[in-house]
Amino acid sequence: MPRSMRERSRSHHPADARIPERRAHHPDLTKLGGWRAMQDEASIGGKRWDEERRWALRMGLHGAESIEDKSIPTFARGELPHYAGINTFLKAPYAEDVLEVGHYDATVLGIPFDGGTTYRAGTRFGPQGVRKISALYTPYNYEMAIDLREQMTLCDAGDVFTIPANIEKSFDQISRAVSHVASSGSLPVMIGGDHSIGYPCVKGIADCTSKKIGIVHFDRHADIQEKDLDERMHTTPWFHATNMPNVPAKNLVQIGIGGWQVPRDAVKVARERETNIITMSDMEKMGIDKTIEMALEIAWDGVDMVYMSFDIDSIDCGFVPGTGWPEPGGFLPREALALAAGVAAEGICGMELVEVAPPYDQSEITALMGTRVIVDVLGSLVSSGKLGAHKRHIDKPVTLPHGEFEGKRWSNAT
Ligand SMILES: [Mn+2]
């Protein structure tokens, strides 16, 4: 045995007095988040889960005699099993009648539109992709010690009827849909769609309030030039959003901008309008907490509400291949999730998750990341008690006319 190996084996021998002595002190586990979260889970309660399981038996009938778990129905209803079912986001109730969205704390609405894409199309399938993989999730988060099912209400209103070949008509439809949800008091959570929807989404909220709105925008791209390829493409939402009198450009904070894909046209506008750009390396130098603090300070300065826009391509493209404009060097997933949750902790009046393009995705990892951003934001809102805090600022609610109830679906039983 070579000498070095002998020494090493001797130093690790159990007879070595130093080791047992060092291990005699039991670590203080109560200092760990892992310990605290384990205790906190006990206080969440499980009433809604009990109710859902009873509902599932009513809707899906009692299971076979041979099944010992009597909460399992014959037809899959609700959360379980994760591989089955007709997917809404997080298997939330489908608000097929959109007049019902006001009964829920938050409403997910899909915006399947990729007519604003200047490179790869495919985000029209974003809402479906995100909904599909969201079925993998439970509404409970161990580290946050929250259970969305027990602590908030959520519905999925389905998709906005966009017009594939017409950006402007699609914008009108999107603004209208978002205004409807915002006016109901429910928090609008939009799943894109390419980033051109940022403008009509913010407009939808801005149209039903006299108050001012700041924006926190996570992206690699500045997206603030007036036009691209002669139209209001996905590189332009913030030019048009900050043209609205109650959406000041000085309250637009853009985090993660950089790389080789920022058109110089956008930089000129950002400079003229004095938006606030925190680059990826700024974030890296300052750290996550400081970045959140700075973003919130600027975005909330003199406004009443803050909107969150999260472009999935802000995350390094190695983690999110299914997107329209992939760029390396972006956020690591843990950074992105911490930043989004940190910004949401002060409250938001709406959010959008854009640029998930399932046709380019691998193993649904991009859609999964998109799902995660949304549920982490919802978790943070619940955890901080800020969910619904924006409601009192919706002081110009709109009412959209709806059709007379004289029709019915082909599938309605007679
Ligand atoms: Mn982008």
Is residue 379 domain-shared with residue 335, that is, in the same domain? yes
Report the separation in Å between the CA atom of 146 and the middle of ligand 1, taken as the mean of its atom positions. Answer: 31
Based on the domain organization, do 117 and 195 belong to the same domain? yes
Alpha-carbon distance 54 to 48, whole Å?
10
Predicted confidence (pLDDT) at residue 26 exceeds the cutoff of 90: no
Q: How far is the CA of 179 from the centre of ligand 1 (A)?
A: 24
pLDDT, tens digit, 9 for 90 and up, residues 326-378: 999 999 999 999 999 999 999 999 999 999 999 999 999 999 999 999 999 99
**Residues 364, 383 share a domain:** yes
Give how many domains the chain has, as a whole number.
2
- The predicted pLDDT at position 194 comes to 98
| Interval 195-215: pLDDT, tens | 999 999 999 999 999 999 999
Give pLDDT, residue 379. 98
Q: Is residue 369 part of a domain?
A: yes
Q: Which residues pair with 351 in a beta bridge?
A: 189, 308
Ligand 1 centroid – CA 219 distance (Å): 5
pLDDT of 408: 77
User: Which three-class secondary structure state does DSSP give residue 310?
Assistant: strand
DSSP conformation class of 199: H
Segment 44-51 shows an average pLDDT of 96
When pLDDT is averaged across residues 299-306 and rounded to a whole number, the result is 98
Q: What is the predicted pLDDT for the residue at 308?
A: 98
pLDDT band at 414 (very low <50, low <70, confident <90, very high): low
Distance 405 CA to ligand 1 centre (A): 42
Does pLDDT of 6 surpass 50? no
What are φ and ψ of residue 310, in 5° steps?
Answer: -120, 110
pLDDT for res 17: 52
| Collapsed DSSP state (helix, strand, coil) of residue 228 | strand
Say how many Å lie between the CA of residue 325 and the centre of ligand 1.
7
Computed from CA positions of residues 393, 89, 176, 252, in that sequence, does the dihedral angle turn out positive or negative? Answer: positive
For residues 119 and 261, membership in a common domain is answered with: yes
pLDDT at residue 105, as a whole number:
98
Residue-level pLDDT at 1: 46
pLDDT, mean over the chain: 94
Q: Same domain, yes or no, for 183 and 129?
A: yes
42, 172: one domain: no
**Residue 381 alpha carbon to ligand 1 centre in Å:** 24
Of 57, 85, 113, which residue constitutes the final position of a domain?
A: 85
Last residue in a domain, options 41, 67, 85: 85
Instruction: Rounding to the nearest 10 degrees, give the CA dihedral for residues 24, 34, 44, 384.
Output: 130
CA 222 to centroid of ligand 1, rounded, Å: 8
CA of 307 relative to ligand 1 center, distance in Å:
17
18 found inside a domain: no
The answer to whether 281 and 329 are in contact (CB under 8 A) is no
For residue 225, report the distance from its CA to the centre of ligand 1, in Å: 13
**74 and 96 fall within a common domain:** no
Same domain, 60 and 100: no
Whole-number Å distance, alpha carbon 230 to ligand 1 midpoint, is: 19
| CATH code assigned at 140 | 3.40.800.10
Are residues 228 and 362 part of one domain?
A: yes
Q: Is residue 280 part of a domain?
A: yes
Residues 191 and 285 occupy one common structural domain: yes
Whether 73 and 209 map to the same domain: the answer is no
CA of 383 to the centre of ligand 1 (A): 29
Q: How confident is the model at residue 33 (pLDDT cuts 50, 70, 90)?
A: very high
Alpha carbon of 83 to ligand 1 centroid (Å): 31
Distance from residue 257's CA to the centre of ligand 1 (Å): 9
Q: Note the pLDDT of residue 16.
A: 53
Q: Ligand 1 mean position to 294 CA, how many Å?
A: 21
Residue 59 lies in domain: 28-85
- Whether residue 209 sits in one domain with residue 308: yes
